[in-house]
Amino acid sequence: MALAIFVIFVFVTGASVGSFLNVSIARLPLEKSLLWPNSRCGACLQSIHWYDNLPLISYFILRGRCRTCRQHYSITYFLVELGTALGFVALFWLEAVQNVHGWPGHGAFSRLGNIPGTSWFGFAWHALLFSFLIVASVCDLRSREIPLHLTLTGTAIGLIGSVLMPWPWPQSLDGINTNPALPLRQGVYPWPVWLPIPAWCDGPGTWQTGLATGLIGALVGTFLLRAIGFLFSKGLGKEALGLGDADLMMMAGSFLGWQIVVVAFFLSVFPALLFGIIQLVVRKDNSLPFGPSLSLSVMATCLAWQPIGNAARPYLFAGEMLIYAAVGGAGLLFVMAFLLKLMRRPEEPQP
Ligand SMILES: [Zn+2]
């Protein structure tokens, strides 16, 4: 019973947050204030009454039309609210109920709704990142642009969180393993910046360790994408990745640390292929924004970090191997981009 109430609470919260995300999606690309003025119809500019602005419900009651001018408004509003609500529920279920990260304090009764406060907080933290990623993805889909305001704000919030929740929080420091050869306990920031923890970080659980985790995460996120974008555009002779994608991964890095960002970047190939095929079939159009694939991959990698991280751990903390992998990977990417350029047929001349 208690659990059902929690799930409903999380769903309603998600739908309400989604309603606010809709405002952000409409206004951030135009650099307008999020708080003022209140919501208006895009066609007749009439204020929307609160009872016509209820998440999910109002779309059904009004059948997707403005009450005053009867103009249709986009179903995107409804889909964002539904997507946010369902995403929140899925995140809550996996993190706070199923406890996929192995966070502490989940006893035998956790399935009855006895969820530790720290897990509520960890879930809320990842739900915040998820919300930022939804706005970034929908903006990217609509206008092929991710607002810099959004990703910079997200990165700043991520860095604050990294200081407040240094690895291994909320895990206990007693007997915490810091040997990368053995399985690691996962915190809200899943892993520390490096193992062994650098001396100037003063061990696990300090604000220095936390800040280093968030800061290096943000830097790796942005430079990885910029470097790959640069190599691809040199090899391919045209723009391959937008700067918005690099900003998006900077934000993700400040919330999750560099390891997840690197792995999520490589795994984003799979959603990108899937979206690419759907796009080709449905819209006969091959221009594809990368933001949604990166976002999906970041969230999935975070949720599956227990198995993925454990498999990747020996490589991710081996300094020399990382350098060889980076150099080798960069060379391979350049060659691939160059081959793609050779294989591509010349553009059809315009009539
Ligand atoms: Zn109207």
pLDDT interval class at 111 (50, 70, 90): low
Q: Is residue 344 over pLDDT 70?
A: no
Lowest mean pLDDT segment, chosen from 7-11, 279-283, 317-321? 279-283
Predicted pLDDT at 320: 80
Predicted pLDDT at 110: 59
In a domain, 304, yes or no: yes
In a domain, 301, yes or no: yes
Lowest mean pLDDT segment, chosen from 41-50, 87-96, 289-298? 41-50
Q: Is residue 324 over pLDDT 90?
A: no
CA of 32 to the centre of ligand 1 (A): 20
In a domain, 137, yes or no: no
Q: Is residue 348 over pLDDT 60?
A: no
In a domain, 12, yes or no: no
CA of 143 to the centre of ligand 1 (A): 23
What is the 3 state secondary structure string of the chain?
A: CHHHHHHHHHHHHHHHHHHHHHHHHHHHHHCCCCCCCCCECCCCCCECCHHHCCCCHHHHHCCCECCCCCCECCCHHHHHHHHHHHHHHHHHHHHHHCCCCCCCCCCCCHHHCCCCHHHHHHHHHHHHHHHHHHHHHHHHHHHCCCCHHHHHHHHHHHHHHHHHCCCCCCCCCCCCCCCCCCCCCCCCCCCCCCCCCCHHHCCCCCHHHHHHHHHHHHHHHHHHHHHHHHHHHHHHCCCCCCHHHHHHHHHHHHHHCHHHHHHHHHHCHHHHHHHHHHHHHHHCCCCCCCHHHHHHHHHHHHHCHHHHHHHHHHHHCCHHHHHHHHHHHHHHHHHHHHHHHHHCCCCCCCC
Predicted pLDDT at 136: 97
CA of 63 to the centre of ligand 1 (A): 13
CA of 70 to the centre of ligand 1 (A): 6
CA distance 102 to 79: 32
What percent of the chain is predicted at pLDDT more than 70? 95
CA of 83 to the centre of ligand 1 (A): 25
Structural domain count, the chain: 1
CA of 51 to the centre of ligand 1 (A): 15
In a domain, 290, yes or no: yes
Predicted pLDDT at 345: 56
Q: Is residue 318 over pLDDT 90?
A: no
**What would the mean pLDDT of 36-64 be, rounded to a whole number?**
88
pTM above 0.75, yes or no: yes
pLDDT digits (tens, 9 = 90+) for 218-264: 999 999 999 988 888 887 777 777 889 999 999 999 999 999 999 99
pLDDT digits (tens, 9 = 90+) for 171-223: 999 989 988 889 999 999 999 999 989 999 999 999 999 999 999 999 999 99
CA of 251 to the centre of ligand 1 (A): 36
Predicted pLDDT at 307: 95
CA of 73 to the centre of ligand 1 (A): 9
CA of 44 to the centre of ligand 1 (A): 4
Predicted pLDDT at 305: 97
CA of 68 to the centre of ligand 1 (A): 5
CA of 65 to the centre of ligand 1 (A): 8
Q: Is residue 51 over pLDDT 80?
A: yes
In a domain, 55, yes or no: no
pLDDT digits (tens, 9 = 90+) for 273-300: 888 888 878 876 666 789 999 999 999 9
CA of 40 to the centre of ligand 1 (A): 8
In a domain, 198, yes or no: yes
**What would the mean pLDDT of 67-75 be, rounded to a whole number?**
90
- Domain span at residue 193 reads 148-343
Predicted pLDDT at 256: 98
CA of 69 to the centre of ligand 1 (A): 4
In a domain, 309, yes or no: yes
CA of 49 to the centre of ligand 1 (A): 12
Predicted pLDDT at 42: 82
CA of 47 to the centre of ligand 1 (A): 9
